A = this chain, B = another copy of it.
Amino acid sequence: MTALPTGLRRLRAQHGDPAARSLRNTWDAPVVHRDLAASPVPHLSAAGIAAWGTDPARHSAEQAAAAAVQDELIDQFLGASAYLFAVPMYNLTMPSVFKAWLDQVIVKGRSFGLPDGPPASGRPALVVSARGGGCGPGTPNHGKDFVVPALETILHDLLGLEVTSFTPELTMAPVVPALAHLVPIHKASLTDAHQQARRRAEKFRDQIAV
């Protein structure tokens, strides 16, 4: 089973999903798909934080509602054995809705901070992070990718996942005249993303079958 939180519709429809689809087409096990654009996760609230340290029997109505949101997301997260995260870059970082998902799921004593390590420890995860521009060498935003390094650290250090990432980039090149000369780099990055996605799906299958 794979949980698939996705970014917002614009990049998802245009760019994020094609490479993700290559993985899913190669993948024949059951998939749970969570579309955060269609069903946004609320921001972690003061009630949601207060709920962590409070006996559920003493939760206020607001805390109980906030805890129910966390419980549902954590159960879905822990119920999967591999993960595909399609997280486009928005203003150099992850979309707020994906950060909200992380903040709801990362709860001490549930998904991390347990004596035996995180319950999802060692499970494979793939991050596909499409971006309209480019952060590779020779591009204007070189060194300014604040999505992938952050996600790799959070998903591994806090949730215990074994993360691989790739970044279909310059997805705006075919539609923005000033970026037209970068179309070949965009196409190469997309081809590479599809190839990697298919390879990764096969590897996931082997890892999970073991």
Chain A residues close to B by CB (< 8 Å): 8-10, 37, 40, 43-46, 49, 90-97, 99-100, 102-103, 106, 144, 146, 149-150, 153-154, 157-158
Contact = CB atoms under 8 A, between A and B. Distances in A.
Contacts of A96: 43-44, 96-97, 99-100, 103
Given A96-B100, A99-B93, A106-B91, A9 B46 contact: yes
A147 B91 CA distance: 13
Nearest to A36: B43
Nearest to A149: B146
Contacts of A43: 8, 40, 95-97, 100
Among A37, A92, A93, A103, find the residue whose CB has the most chain B CB atoms closer than 10 A.
Answer: A93
Contacts of A37: 45-46
Contact of A93 (B8, B90, B154, B157): B154
Contacts of A157: 92, 144
A144 B157 CA distance: 10
A37 B100 CA distance: 13
A153 B147 CA distance: 13
11 contacts: A9-B49, A37-B46, A43-B96, A44-B96, A92-B150, A93-B94, A93-B102, A93-B154, A96-B99, A146-B146, A146-B150
B150 A49 contact: no
A96 B97 CA distance: 7
Nearest to A38: B46
Contact of A95 (B103, B106, B144, B150): B103
A102 B106 contact: no
Given A43-B97, A91-B102, A93-B94, 5 more contacts: A9-B46, A37-B45, A40-B43, A91-B158, A92-B158
